[in-house]
Structure 1
Amino acid sequence: MKRTLAVVSAGVRLPSSTRLLADRLTGAARDELEELGSQVDIDVVEARDLAHDLVNCLMAGYPSPELRRAFDAVAGADGLIAVTPIFNASCSGLFKLFFDCIEDAALADKPVLIAATGGTGRHSLVLEHALRPMFTYLHAVAVPTAVYAATEDWGSGGGSQGPLLRRVARAARELAVGVHRSEPLTPADPYRDPVPFEQLLDGM
């Protein structure tokens, strides 16, 4: 069975530790899904590349073609990995803007792995105080393990037994199980159940 994972990374610099964490999570989740017998396609959305389109969408109320493709990739995926840097004890404005602009039902019942990066471990509770409530509001199903990577986590070593990589592996496993148990998404058919022509003319 083929499954699709969408990845939203809201890093603002190059190179980006946010994208690095997103790639680690994506690779681990893909491996877990393949072990469960699924073929996996990956759609990566770099919110940084859509910054101007996101502002225009918020102001005008409709997305550009590029932003529409990103929204469709997220809405059509079987699971989502969402990673943000932490600024001033909250997720980045760019990350929030992306999910402010996406359609209300796009994440309904979708398994989501939430993750964040920051300069210090003191910001790790942002995942529980800000991100998890937001995805709950959007009717997504956030997996129990959220992953936070502070600057010191990247240099902690320990190979596959390092604390960060253990959290990555556990969260990826939870996401893979959630995706594996869910029904595959089927694109909505815009021509299904058309309104009869007579009804369209009714009252004219």
Structure 2
Amino acid sequence: MEPLKLVAVSAGLREPSSTRLLADRLAEATRARLAGEREAEVRVVELRGLAVDIANNLVTGFPGAALREAVEAVTAADGLIAVSPIFTASYSGLFKSFFDVIENTALTGKPVLIAATGGTARHSLALEHALRPMFAYLRAVVAPTAVYAATEDWGSGGDGSTGGLAGRIERAAGELADLVLGRYGAGPAGDPFEDVVPFEQQLAALRP
């Protein structure tokens, strides 16, 4: 059985980047959650090095070789982790531009974990009013838990195990792993509405 493909997209602009660090932590946590059942290969796509190719693609409609390879990796992934820094209360322009060059049906049904980094926790709702609606429009299947990491979440030592961040990473990774394995929210087999009494029968039972 071939390994599952996990791809993490990081839109961090600096080196080192907290956005890349969060992408790495989420990818490793998801790989670890899958390890008991399926082997998974992880690839990180850093958009920083593709910025010129993305701009050229938006203008010309033709991707360069490096951008084409990145897009193919994302669209072929069994699970996608998408991480953006938050600028002006939303995802970065580079992050949005990358997904703009992908066909708008290419992510249909794909399990996606969304995450973001920022200087203050006040911008955490950008995950819900910006990233989640974008992937909903692309018809991806977005994990319920979104992960936001503010500067203080990393702790003074710079590790990702302080505060509540580690717990959020583990919860989100578990949800993505379940989505990739096709078992998230699985209930008993059969039609859950099979035994529902039709409304007309319920009304008839109320008549004297």
Structure 2 counterpart of 1:167: 168
State the 1:161 CA deviation.
Answer: 7.2
Cα RMSD of the aligned pairs, angstroms, is: 1.6
> AA paired with 1:105?
T
Does the Cα contact within 8 Å between 1:79 and 1:175 map onto a contact in 2? yes
> AA paired with 1:137?
Y
Structure 2 counterpart of 1:198: none
> AA paired with 2:168?
R
> 1:131-170, aligned counterparts within 5 Å?
131-155=131-155, 162-170=163-171
Query: Any unmatched runs of 5+ in structure 1?
Result: 183-204
Q: 1:132-171, CA deviations, whole angstroms, 9 ceiling, x for partnerless residues?
A: 0000000101100000000000017898573000000000
Higher relative contact order (CA 8 A, sep 6+): 1
Q: 1:103-149, CA deviations, whole angstroms, 9 ceiling, x for partnerless residues?
A: 12221100000000000000000000000000000010110000000
CA distance in 2: counterparts of 1:59 and 1:128, whole angstroms? 30
Structure 2 counterpart of 1:117: 117
Dislocated runs of 4+, deviation >2 Å: 156-162
Paired residue secondary structure (2:6): strand
Change (3 A) 1:93 1:156: same
Query: Any unmatched runs of 5+ in structure 2?
Result: 184-208
The yes-or-no answer on 1:178 pairing with 2:167 is no
Structure 1 counterpart of 2:53: 53
Change (3 A) 1:43 1:159: closer
> AA paired with 1:130?
A
TM-score, with structure 2 as normaliser: 0.84
Larger Rg over CA atoms:
2
Paired residue secondary structure (1:181): coil
Change (3 A) 1:40 1:15: same
Does the Cα contact within 8 Å between 2:153 and 2:160 map onto a contact in 1? no
State the 1:82 CA deviation.
Answer: 0.3
CA distance in 1: counterparts of 2:167 and 2:100, whole angstroms? 31
Does the Cα contact within 8 Å between 1:74 and 1:106 map onto a contact in 2? no
TM-score, with structure 1 as normaliser: 0.85
More off after superposition, 158-167 vs 139-148: 158-167
Paired residue secondary structure (1:134): helix
